[in-house]
Amino acid sequence: MDSSLILSNVLNSPVLFFVIGLTAVFLKSDLEIPQSISTLFFVYLLFAISFNGGDGFYESGLSSEVAIALRSTVVVVAVVSVYSFFILRLKLDLYNASAIAAIDSFLCAVTFVTASSFLSPVNVDVGNYLVATLALMSSPAMIMGLLSVRVFVNRLKDKSLQDTLDWGECFRSPARMVWPFCWWVVC
């Protein structure tokens, strides 16, 4: 393996930011990003992934390969969310296990970007539509996380927590995350 390829991947910005964040945690730094900046980053990342995914999907067209990739993404994210929930439930309460399982199922944008930047110099073509699968990952994971809370909240001894889930809002929130991707595909 080429040492310059390894060095370029270690010096990749997502990897460097991860190392800086990890170092800040170990040093118990009071490094904090203001909430407004954090929200701005989230919205920017959401739009960037959605528009890039929609553009890649439009360029690739809806072939059987693309349809299989999109369906497989939904299934894999749902399965990972479910088994992660049951593993996490062994040590955590219902809400934390559900939230971590949902986030863990689709929090792979950095991995995707790092893998894409690793494969690019070695001339491995990654389909443009794969960014669309990245944009699609958040909805099934969030829905599975909410469903796991809904299914298991009735088993809690505290009856005041039961039936507090607003299903309309649960499905509107993921829809808001995916609409830029859908809009870009339609246009």
Domain carrying residue 146: 33-186
Contact in structure between 91 and 166 (CB atoms under 8 Å): no
Q: What's the average model confidence in pLDDT over 108-125?
A: 70
Does 27 reside within a domain?
no
> Model-level pTM?
0.59
Does 153 reside within a domain?
yes
Does 142 reside within a domain?
yes
Does residue 176 or residue 16 have the better pLDDT? Answer: 16
Structure tokens at 63: 């072939």
Contact in structure between 74 and 144 (CB atoms under 8 Å): no
Does residue 77 or residue 125 have the better pLDDT? Answer: 77
Does 150 reside within a domain?
yes
Separation in Å, CA 164 to CA 100, 145, 171: 20, 15, 15
Position 109 scores a pLDDT of 63
Does 170 reside within a domain?
yes
Does 178 reside within a domain?
yes
**pLDDT above 70 coverage of the chain, percent:** 70
Q: Is residue 177 predicted with pLDDT exceeding 60?
A: no
Give which of 113, 173, 112 is closest to 138, Cα–Cα.
Answer: 173
Give the separation between CA 29 and CA 10, rounded to whole angstroms.
Answer: 23
Does 39 reside within a domain?
yes
Does 8 reside within a domain?
no
Contact in structure between 131 and 18 (CB atoms under 8 Å): no
Structure tokens at 55: 């553009």
Domain count, the chain: 1
